[in-house]
Every structure is written in structure tokens, then in C-alpha cells.
Structure 1
Amino acid sequence: MLKYLPFAKHFFVKRFPVELTFLVTSRCNARCGHCFYHRDINAKKDELSVEEIAKVFSGLGRLLRVSIGGGEPFIREDMPELTRAICKHSKTPHITIPTNGILTDRIVDSVKRILNSCTDTTLNVGISLDGLGQRRDKIMGVEGSFDKSMETYRALKELKKKYRKFLLGVVLTQTYSNQGEIEKIYEFARDELKPDNIAFSLVRGSSRDEEEMNIDITIYKKMVEKIKKDSFQGRFQFWKVFAWQRNVVYNYVAETHEKNRYLLPCYSGRIRIIITPEGDVYPCEILMLKDRDRFRLGNLRDFDYKIREIFNSDRHYEISKFIKESKCFCRHECDLTTNFFFNPYLLLRRSLLKK
């Protein structure tokens, strides 16, 4: 627990990122109908190089958590090198990488190399599983994708025998097309794959297929209760304090979806940011997708890779002011987790209610 003490100041002073999502590429080898990033998928991007990434993270200071996404992150052949640069300069205790699991050999080799070079960091790799068998192939638009992802999962599970700081999870997103079988998918993952964790979320943003956004919140709430029960029975490998935190976030997701209104302050753009493949910085994915020009904080190349200069700009001040004064809200699990965890008043209220 001592390793988390340096981040305690962010409960009260929210002026610089403590965690971020880095979309390292827009390239992808799948065509999921529910993809929030579909307008950028496989668009030509001048991706930040490993050298540029090192410059960015050397000026960020220590980070609590880094999520590496895409596109499909492992399409980048330099994933081990860029991840090593992130670990070296951010000293982060946690890195999370979601993947569709199709590129088995490259994924396994990259993960092994990352684990060998980032020995002080807990690496969590989550394989997306939004359907079983041919249903998954259809959802991803790739024949044989389910079998490939299972091959990848089995190979990565072998690595767990050697690497103590390696967590292997499953990423499960509820969409219109899979919500009728979401419980079956979850139980397959829990009982057959036995992952360290299952990240469950609602489809978000603007999907390639807009029908995918028509979710049944009663199904989501039923799944949340199932996950809560399994979490506190020790079915997954994380501390109960984090299980409790995640379960509270699930409740906020459901309530935000049902009420469609602001429920708690948002700290995105202050202690949490998004970096795109070409180095654009945004407060969050939702505002990035809403209006790229309006909510772009700046491009790292224009600021000599110095996040602090972007944070000291008038543009950052105006966008942060907008988020606060407009009571901006969403139901994105990553943002809600940050908003809850770094809100001392919510934590205190929750503690008092338990007494």
C-alpha cells in the first residue's frame, strides 16, 4: 500500500495527470460494430515514435496507472520498446493493455518482453470477449477470431507461471447484439478461462453500428449483481478494496444511464487525460469524439512534448472550466473510476454510511 502514498495529494490538488489512456495506434485488424473509435480506425496517422514517447513521459512524473489502447495495440511492432519507455519514465505501478487477441505470436512475444523489462510494474492484459465461437467472429468481422483469442489466452496463461506481476483478464462489453447472451459469455469466462479479472462495461460513444447502442439496462444491473457476488467471494484476483470501488462505479454507470444527468464532479482534463497516436491531448474519449477541434487541449509536438506547458495554457483553463461549469457527465467506467476514487467527500460519505 505504501506505493500509493505519493498519489494521496491528488485527493485535494488536481492540477496534473495521475493517470492516462494512451491510444498508441488507430490501426486495427478487426471491424467491431460497437467500436467507439471507428471513425479513426486504419486512418493514416503519424504515430508518436518510441523516442517521442520517452520525451512525453519523462515530463509527466510518476503516474498511478497507464492504459495502452488503440486500435489494436499489438499491431505496433515496437510495443515492447514503447511500453518500456513508459515504465522507465512514469514509474507507474500499473499498466493495462486490452487486445482482441488475434495476433497470437506477436502478443505473446511482446508481453514476455514487456514483463522482462518492466519488472516493477504490474501488467494487466485483457482479451476482449464479446461473443463465443462464430458469434464472436461475426461481431469482430474476422473469421476464426474466437479460436485465435483462445489460443492467445492459453499461451499467456502459461506466462503467469513465471511472472508474478502479470495479470490476465477478460474485457466484456455489453452491446445490443450480445446482451441476450452476456451472462453466458461471462460464465464461460469465469468458469472456463478463470481470469484474474473481468472488466465489464457498457458500449459507449458513437458506434459504427448505431443499433449497438440500444442496450437493456436491466440486463446490465443483473450482471453487476452477479459480478459483485463473485468479487466478494474471491473469484477474481484483486483486493476487496478495489472490488468495492469497482462495484460502486458499476452503480454509478447504471444510475447515470437511467437518469441521464450529472451525478458527481468530473476530473478529466485535470488528473486524467487521453493521448492519441499522433500526440493530440484530450480530457477524455467522450469529448474527443464529440468535437475534436473544440476539446483538443493541444498537440505534444507543438509543445516540445511537455504536458506541463499544455496544462499551463489558456486553452486548458477554458476547457477545464467548461467541464466544471457545465457539469459534464458520462458513464465511461474509466472516467467514473477516477472521479470516484479521487473524491475525498464521496469516500468519506461512503465510510460513514458503513458505520
Structure 2
Amino acid sequence: MIAKTWFQLYHTKGIVKANFSVTNICNYRCNHCNIWRKYLENPELLRRELSFKEFLKISEQTTSLRWISITGGEPTLKKGLDKFLIALPDSIKLVSLNTNGSLPNKITDIIKIAAETMPKRLFYVSVSLDGPPEVHDKLRGIPGAFENSISTFLQLKQLTDEFKNVHVNFEYTITPWNLGQFEALLRYFNKTKFPASAADFVISLYETAAYYHHDDSRGSKPTLKILKEAQRIVSCFPRISLNPSTLFCRVFLALSSEYYTKRKRHPCFAGEKSVWVNPYGEVQMCIYKSQPLGNIKDYDYDLNRLVSSQKNEILELRNSCKGCWTPCESYTTLMFRPLFLIEGVVKSW
């Protein structure tokens, strides 16, 4: 099923992947992300958010769309996520969703109904977990955050036994506040006999960007300490894996150092195969190019129509881009450049 979905994405022309940031509402108070501050500072912005009916319209009008990545804020806090997932057109073959894990029962019920209703659609859920209990809770700013993530993972893991189209993993973000904690987390799992290993994780690197409501809206790259941590974590992952998430994560980590230290430019499909849509319908080339290409409402909710009308601007943005190597874009690159993926596998060894 995974191979078939990959083939379908690879051979589709136009915008294939849409990153939907569906809301800026968040119930956590993370050190490394200030999205939760947005509506405390500007509560009137909440009324401007697109409804899930409007996100559904984008999915329907953009006929080339095959992969939807859902993030926020915390997506489960926005009313209508359950109905949105089962109303998506058959052309959507893959849905990936990031959650902080704060609502275990709710996200499990949502994914179960979606998997039952759409058995030919793949669902990938990433649950935030950034270290052992005290580290994760401190990073997320909420007591009990660790236990919430653990409960969410276990409940979703049970679904994977029943539904072959459901996949779940933890997402660990390397930040200045949890250096050295990944191995500590694995030791905690081993000590408590928790049924997870490095292969159950995907890894992200801490960077600043306007999207995260950081003071440095221009964005900054991972520090050398974070990159060294990434290279050390690579060795925790199995060298050979049939799990695409594990394979892509290992390659992502291996190539991150090459990109940021040697400044070797990697291929990018932002604005060509993928775009970013913020909660207000403003379409960006990617998460770090915060200049909106336009509002989707002005283009009859058709991403291809918007992108086609902004080809010159996208070209200018590409030419001025200093580059990045983040999961939201790098995984797309690895999917559409098989030879580059193979090269990355070799380098990750």
C-alpha cells in the first residue's frame, strides 16, 4: 500500500502536497515555539481562520493534490477535524498529522473513524515527545505532557494492529534545551519496558521562523551543537528498515550536517510540488518563505491556479532563498528524487 501511494504521488503533475496549518490555537506552552502566544496577543485573528469546510474545498478544487499534511497549533482543538478527514476526496492518498498528544482519546477516535471510512488512504500520526518525563514536561510547559504523549502513542499503536492504513510515531525535536536527552529517553523506555525504540521516532531540528512566532522572524539555522546531536542520533537508528519513516529520518539526519556545515544545496520542490497554507488561507511557498503568494480565497480555492499565476514571484523567491533542510520539505525532496534518496542512504551508513 505504501509503495503504491508513493508511485501515485511521484507520477502526479502539479501541486501534490499541501501543508495545512489549520489553526494557531494551542493548549501547550512550549519553550521552542510561540504559536500559543498569537491569540493571547491578537485574539481577533481567531475569527479570520479558515473553516475545515474551506480546507476541504482546497482539497477538492486542487485536483492534483494527493498528500495533505496537517499541523497547527494543535489540530485536534479545531472543531470539525473528524468530519474533514472522512470528507476528503478519494484523490487524497496520504494524510499526515502532527499532534502534541494532549488529547489521547479524541485523536484516537478521530483516526479510528477515518481509517474505517477510508481504508485505501494512509494515515500517519506523529506524536510530540522530546525527552524523559521531566524534560518533556518542562519543554512543553505543561505538567503531565509526557504521560499524555505516551497514552496517545499506545492507543494509536493499538489501532495499527487493526488497521493496516494507520501508522504512528513519536516526533522528537532537537533543541538547545534537550541536548543529550534522546539516548536518555531510550534508556527510560528500556528501563520501564515501554514498547518503543529509535525506529518509532522521526527527528526534527530546532530553527526559528516567523511561523513559530519567534522574535527572529527572518529565521535562523540549527546551531552546531544541535547538528552534532543529530549526527550522534543517526547511530541509534537501524541501518536497514522497510519503514519509510525510519528510512527517511535516517537520511534526513545524515544530510542535515552536510547541508548546514558544508552549505551543499539540496534539491527543493517548494512552490513546485508542495506549498504551505496558513490558518487564514494565505499560501506560502514553504514554512520559511513567509511572504504570501496570495490568499486561496481569491483563486477559487485552487492551489494550482494560484501557483500558476505567481510563477515569476516563486522564481524570485527560489533565487533569493538561502535554503533549508527541514522535514516538511526534505521528505518531499526524497520522495521525488529517488536517486538523491539512494545517495542519502549510502551517506547515512
Pick the TM interval, shorter chain: 0.7 to 0.9
Amino acid at match of 1:24: V
Residue 24 (structure 2) aligned to one of 23, 26, 38: 26
1:254 & 1:350 partners in 2: Cα distance?
A: 12
User: Are the structure 2 counterparts of residues 49 and 322 from structure 1 closer, same or farther at C-alpha, using a change threshold of 3 Å?
Assistant: same
Determine the structure 2 residue equivalent to 1:291. none
Superposition RMSD on alpha carbons, in Å?
Answer: 3.0
The equivalences for 1:10-49 within 5 A come to: 16-35=14-33, 37=35, 40=38, 44-45=45-46, 46-49=48-51
User: Are 1:238 and 2:238 an aligned pair?
Assistant: no
Determine the structure 1 residue equivalent to 2:7. 5
Determine the structure 2 residue equivalent to 1:300. 296
User: Are 1:249 and 2:252 an aligned pair?
Assistant: yes
User: Are the structure 2 counterparts of residues 114 and 189 from structure 1 closer, same or farther at C-alpha, using a change threshold of 3 Å?
Assistant: farther
Residue 218 (structure 1) aligned to one of 224, 228, 234: 228
SS in structure 2 at match of 1:127: strand
SS in structure 2 at match of 1:249: helix
1:258 & 1:335 partners in 2: Cα distance?
A: 19
The equivalences for 1:281-320 within 5 A come to: 281-288=283-290, 295-313=291-309, 316-320=310-314
Give per-residue Cα distances to partners, 1:245-293, cap 9 Å, x unaligned.
Answer: 443332221122223x3512322011111111121111111112xxxxx
* C-alpha displacement of 1:183: 1.7
Amino acid at match of 2:170: V
Amino acid at match of 1:167: H
Task: Verify the 8 A CA contact 2:230 2:253 in the aligned structure 1.
Answer: no
Amino acid at match of 1:34: H
Amino acid at match of 1:238: N
* C-alpha displacement of 1:36: 6.7
Residue 338 (structure 1) aligned to one of 329, 332, 337: 332
Determine the structure 2 residue equivalent to 1:91. 92
SS in structure 2 at match of 1:160: helix
User: Are 1:203 and 2:206 an aligned pair?
Assistant: yes
| TM-score normalized with structure 1 length | 0.82
The equivalences for 1:56-67 within 5 A come to: 56-67=58-69
Give per-residue Cα distances to partners, 1:108-161, cap 9 Å, x unaligned.
Answer: 222222222222112111111012212211111111111222222222233233
Determine the structure 2 residue equivalent to 1:275. 277
Alignment coverage as a number of residue pairs: 331
Q: Percent identity?
A: 24
SS in structure 2 at match of 1:192: coil
2:221 & 2:147 partners in 1: Cα distance?
A: 24
Q: Which runs of 5+ in 2 are unaligned?
A: none
SS in structure 2 at match of 1:222: helix
User: Are the structure 2 counterparts of residues 262 and 57 from structure 1 closer, same or farther at C-alpha, using a change threshold of 3 Å?
Assistant: same
2:4 & 2:154 partners in 1: Cα distance?
A: 33
Give per-residue Cα distances to partners, 1:305-330, cap 9 Å, x unaligned.
Answer: 122321221xx223321243235411
Give per-residue Cα distances to partners, 1:160-199, cap 9 Å, x unaligned.
Answer: 3322211121001101110121222245468723277311
Determine the structure 1 residue equivalent to 2:171. 171
User: Are the structure 2 counterparts of residues 346 and 171 from structure 1 closer, same or farther at C-alpha, using a change threshold of 3 Å?
Assistant: closer
SS in structure 2 at match of 1:273: strand
Amino acid at match of 1:169: N
Task: Verify the 8 A CA contact 1:266 1:328 in the aligned structure 2.
Answer: no
* C-alpha displacement of 1:95: 1.4
Task: Verify the 8 A CA contact 1:129 1:170 in the aligned structure 2.
Answer: yes
Task: Verify the 8 A CA contact 1:281 1:298 in the aligned structure 2.
Answer: yes
Instruction: Tell which deviates more after alignment, 191-200 or 274-283.
Output: 191-200
SS in structure 1 at match of 2:20: strand
The equivalences for 1:173-192 within 5 A come to: 173-188=173-188, 192=194
User: Are the structure 2 counterparts of residues 95 and 163 from structure 1 closer, same or farther at C-alpha, using a change threshold of 3 Å?
Assistant: same
Determine the structure 2 residue equivalent to 1:292. none
* C-alpha displacement of 1:50: 2.9
User: Are the structure 2 counterparts of residues 318 and 37 from structure 1 closer, same or farther at C-alpha, using a change threshold of 3 Å?
Assistant: farther
1:352 & 1:222 partners in 2: Cα distance?
A: 17
Q: Which runs of 5+ in 1 are unaligned?
A: 289-294
Task: Verify the 8 A CA contact 2:99 2:127 in the aligned structure 1.
Answer: yes
Task: Verify the 8 A CA contact 1:20 1:274 in the aligned structure 2.
Answer: yes
User: Are 1:264 and 2:257 an aligned pair?
Assistant: no
